[in-house]
C-alpha cells in the first residue's frame, strides 16, 4: 500500500509535463544514421558538408575564445564569430553555470557552446541536446586535429 502510494507520488512529481520519451523518433534517427556511411575525403570543404549531414545541422562556426574564426561552413563568418563569442561571454559572466545558449529563431535554432578552448556556433532546423552538440564538437575537433597532422606532414615533406 505504502509502496504504491510512493510510486504514484514519485511518478507524478517526475512526470510533471506529461511528455514521454520520443522512442519512435529516436528509432527513426538511429535507422537513418545507420543507412548512411560517412566517408571523409581529402577535400576539406567536402568534409565540412559531410559533418553537417552527419549531425543534421544547417551550419556551424568554430572560434577561439577571442572570436577569431577557426572553421566556418558559411564563408569566413568573422562578424558572426565575434558577435557569437561576445554574446556567449556576456551570458557566461551573468550565469556562470550555464553550459550552452539556445536561441529559438524564426527559421530554426541557434546554439552557442564552449568545448575545449573553442566556442561553437551551430544553426539547426530543430533543437539539439547538449549530447548532440558535444558529439558534433568531438567529431569536428578530431577532424581538425587530423587536418593539422596532414598539414604538418606536408610542410615537413617540403622542408
Give me the tens of pLDDT residue by residue for the chain, a chain 159 residues long.
666 666 665 565 555 455 555 666 667 666 666 666 666 667 777 888 888 888 889 999 999 999 899 989 887 788 989 999 999 999 999 999 888 899 998 889 999 999 989 999 999 998 888 888 888 888 888 877 776 665 545 445 554
CA–CA separation, 31 and 71 (whole Å): 30
Residue 108 grid cell: 530554426
Q: Domains in the chain, ordered, with CATH?
A: 24-158 (3.30.450.30)
3-state SS class at 126:
coil
| Interhelix angle 130-158/44-55, nearest 10 degrees | 170
3-state SS class at 53:
helix
Q: Which residue is associated with the grid cell 541536446? A: 129
This prediction's pTM: 0.68
DSSP 11: H
Amino acid at each position: 500500500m505504502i509502496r504504491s502510494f510512493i510510486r504514484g507520488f514519485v511518478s507524478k512529481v517526475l512526470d510533471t509535463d506529461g511528455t514521454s520519451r520520443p522512442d519512435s523518433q529516436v528509432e527513426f534517427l538511429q535507422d537513418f544514421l545507420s543507412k548512411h556511411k560517412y566517408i571523409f575525403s581529402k577535400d576539406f570543404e567536402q568534409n565540412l558538408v559531410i559533418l553537417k549531414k552527419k549531425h543534421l545541422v544547417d551550419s556551424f562556426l568554430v572560434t577561439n575564445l577571442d572570436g577569431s574564426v577557426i572553421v566556418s561552413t558559411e564563408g569566413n563568418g568573422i562578424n558572426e564569430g565575434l558577435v557569437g563569442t561576445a554574446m556567449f561571454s556576456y551570458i557566461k559572466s551573468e550565469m556562470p553555470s550555464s553550459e550552452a545558449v539556445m536561441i529559438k529563431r524564426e527559421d530554426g535554432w541557434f546554439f552557442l557552446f564552449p568545448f575545449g578552448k573553442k566556442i561553437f556556433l551551430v544553426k539547426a532546423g530543430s533543437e539539439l541536446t547538449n549530447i548532440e552538440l558535444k558529439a558534433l564538437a568531438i567529431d569536428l575537433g578530431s577532424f581538425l586535429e587530423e587536418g593539422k597532422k596532414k598539414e604538418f606532414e606536408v610542410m615537413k615533406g617540403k622542408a
